[in-house]
Structure 1
Amino acid sequence: MAKNPEKASYRHRARMHPRRPASSLAERWTMVDGVDVFYRESANPPDARVMTHLHGFGLSGRYLLPTAELLADEFHTLVPDLPGFGRSGKAGSGLDIPDLAHSAARFLDARGVATTSLVGNSMGCPVIVEFAHHYPERLERAVLVSPAGGIHNQPLRRAVGQLARDGGREPRKMITVATPDYLRFGVPSTFRMFRALTRYPSLQRLLELRVPTLVVLGTRDPLLPGPARIKEVASQDQNHVLVVVLEGAAHAINFSHPTELAHIIRLFMDDRPIVDVPSQSAARVYEIHRGAYHPVATDD
């Protein structure tokens, strides 16, 4: 009897990637450029707006789930592990920001998604602005949470120190989520990816954005420059960038402050004014820059 290659591939993936704690999103696989890509997906009506979450440096989409799951009741939610990361297959020698942006586009092709809003954390933010550079007609809105990769993170020893400081500011549970991903990603890939990040023209691409863009920053994030530099950079933009600060948050906001972040994203997606998070949260939200983005006032 002939073997079923699809079942054989599934058994191989199951052996290579043991089960994680269950998510409310369905766990699925697809193929992107010959690479097995793992992703999570919500079940929504066909007319639901699509929102795709892109992970950070060396990580998988797993740590993005706390925020993604909160938004999944309203948005058709996709959380892929990009090729070379997490449970997805290796991506060969290609590990740079343009490669990942193109992979994200081909992942969306595989899912039959023409347009989407993108929510990224850390390295996921340069991937988003590169995606916008190549596929502007496919991007509806951009949410950049704790964007990384600028000159503030250079050289490598400085970035390592920043990551070490950030580790002490994140919830302890983040260690159990991130450590397996970092170990699987490996040291050689880390150096290649860091080199690609330092060479990427993040500011230039950000200023080229022509879609409504939300930037969310944490006041305790050691990987980002101080408020003065952030305001200086933001002031160069005359387009659609809204910069919001979440008090008390460090770098992995999608994991540490999901309720607050989901609240901010919902307001932004509906063109509503950014107001403080619900009363059950102690965190405070405030704007530090608003470009040509004009939310619709409401009576709520």
Structure 2
Amino acid sequence: MMTADSDASDGSRPRPRPRRTPRRPASSLAERWTTIDDLDVFYRESPVPPDAPVMMHIHGFGLSGRYLLPTAERLAEEFHTLVPDLPGFGRSAKAAALLDVPDLAHSAARFLDDRGVASATLVGNSMGCPVILEFAHHYPERLDRAILVSPAGGLHNQPLRRAVGQLARDGGREPPRMARVATPDYLRFGVPSTFKMFRALTQYPTLERLLELQIPTLVVIGDRDPLMPGPARVKEVASQTDNHVLLVMIEGAAHAINFSHPGELSHLIRLFMADEPIIDDPDSPGHSRLHEIHRGPKHPPPKGR
């Protein structure tokens, strides 16, 4: 597949790229463009450590991958890190029709094809979690592990007016700088797309897909997240799975954990990837605590136990 940065190989002139205003890089990761399904797709990528496993971060509803960077950057030295703006979001181009959850999962797979990646661990926040579950449904052999942070959708977020109220409460619980990152993304995404994407999320069979997972799966929630049910209900749902799920709560966190608590989350991801016991980060004394509240018996046991 010819990327947006490549030259035409058939002698024809390459398709001109729309003029973009130069901007200062927002990340220590390299900022790049490619073409997926004839759409310009923006992404960020770490230098590739030798033999490093691939980890792709998938953003939430109406947002770009920018707010995921605080966590992704902390893991970039250990994992081949990819942070795309999915088609229709952020700086990536929009398709003629809004993509739904299955469309976005297929786009994620084709993005990995474009990067030459056979399989990866996927880290999602909010809407990114249903995208991962759908990816697992269609491409189970390509998903090494799943990390679902603040999964969105379902009865708890219905109807739309309820979800809007939950988002408003969450906005007051996130760091003030989150608004500076999120507002341009929401404005670019637009009101019509918001209504259509919300409908797609509420109709998505999240629990059914979660029950299908046959790989180690980490679910991370915050105890101040108004978009999530309480920990007891989340634990009840996790216990219905085929027992590959590890459920951990971060004390003091709201919905955008990847942005607000990157130190705690990246530490937790490292423990999960290494099958280590869940403990607080010794390098961050006094910060939010981690609480393991469910570990399925089929989940890999912590080493040393």
Superposed pair shares fold, TM > 0.5 = yes
Query: Partner of 2:110 in structure 1?
Result: 106
| Partner residue of 2:96 out of 85, 92, 97 | 92
Alignment partner of 1:259 is 2:268: no
Query: 1:287 is matched with which residue?
Result: 292
In structure 1, distance between residues paired with 2:270 and 2:197: 31
Q: Deviations over 1:69-94 (max 9, x none)?
A: 00000000000000000000002214
Which one has a larger percent helix, Structure 1 or Structure 2? 1
1:5 to 6, 14, 21: 14
TM-score, with structure 1 as normaliser: 0.94
Q: What is the percentage of aligned positions where both structures have the same residue?
A: 75
RMSD: 1.6
Deviation at 1:186, TM superposition (A): 0.2
- Preserved contact between residue 52 and residue 119 of structure 1 (Cα < 8 Å): yes
Aligned-pair CA distance for 1:123? 0.1
Residue 235 of structure 1 and its aligned partner are, at CA, apart by 1.5
List per-residue Cα deviations over 1:140-169 (Å, max 9, x = no partner).
Answer: 000000000111000000000000000000
Q: Distance in 2 between the 1:20 and 1:241 partners?
A: 40
Q: Say if 1:13 and 1:158 are closer, same or farther in 2 by CA, change over 3 A.
A: farther
Change over 3 Å in CA distance of 1:43–1:226 after alignment to 2 = same
Tell me the equivalent position of 1:59: 63
Question: 2:279 — aligned with what?
Answer: 275
For 1:166, which of 160, 170, 174 is the aligned residue? 170
Q: TM-score with structure 2 length normalisation?
A: 0.93
Q: Structure 2 matches for 1:1-300, cutoff 5 A?
A: 5=14, 8-9=16-17, 12-15=18-21, 19-278=23-282, 279-291=284-296, 292-298=298-304
Equivalent position amino acid for 2:117 in 1: V
Alpha-carbon contact 2:243-2:295 (below 8 Å) kept:
no
Which moves more between the two structures, 161-170 or 289-298? 289-298
How many equivalent residue pairs? 293
Unaligned residue ranges in structure 1 (runs of 5+): none
Aligned 8 A contact 1:260 1:281 in 2 = no
Question: Amino acid of the residue matched to residue 247 of structure 1?
Answer: E
Partner SS for 1:147: coil
1:286 aligned partner, one-letter code: H
Give the Cα–Cα distance (whole angstroms) in 1 for the partners of residues 133 and 153 of structure 2: 12
